[in-house]
Amino acid sequence: MLLITGGIISCSSTKDKYTDVTDIEDEFKIEKSGAQLWGEACNRCHLAPSPADYNDTDWNTISLHMRVRANLTEKEITKIETFLKSAN
């Protein structure tokens, strides 16, 4: 609502759920699988190793190290780690 009073313009509005762009982005965001994240994140800097190259314990250590190096979120690294361990 636009209100003009004595040369002063005032605008008052109610905020609905789509006022913020991030709200819209979150609603339509498509979640990537662990395999997709692995392919994108790991191949960004080096050839990604085969999931069968390491055992679960090795993948735990590698995941911790690469989470920091690749600036991955906890959710992303968990999905990647689950994918990699599924090959063992």
The reply to whether 20 falls in a domain is: no
The reply to whether 47 falls in a domain is: yes
Parent domain of 46:
31-88
What are the tens digits of pLDDT across the range 5-59?
555 555 555 555 555 666 666 677 789 999 999 999 999 999 999 999 999 999 9
Mean pLDDT of the region 71-80: 96
- Tokens 């995941």 -> residue: 63
pLDDT surpasses 70 at 3:
no
Tell me how far apart the alpha carbons of residues 22 and 8 are, in angstroms, rounded to a whole number. 31
The reply to whether 56 falls in a domain is: yes
The reply to whether 26 falls in a domain is: no
Query: Into how many domains does the chain fold?
Result: 1
Report the chain's C-alpha Rg in angstroms.
Answer: 22
State in Å, rounded, how far the first CA of the chain is from the last one.
Answer: 61
Length of the chain measured in residues: 88
State the helix-helix crossing angle for 34-42 and 56-70, rounded to 10 degrees: 60
The reply to whether 19 falls in a domain is: no
| φ and ψ at residue 10, rounded to 5 degrees | -125, 140
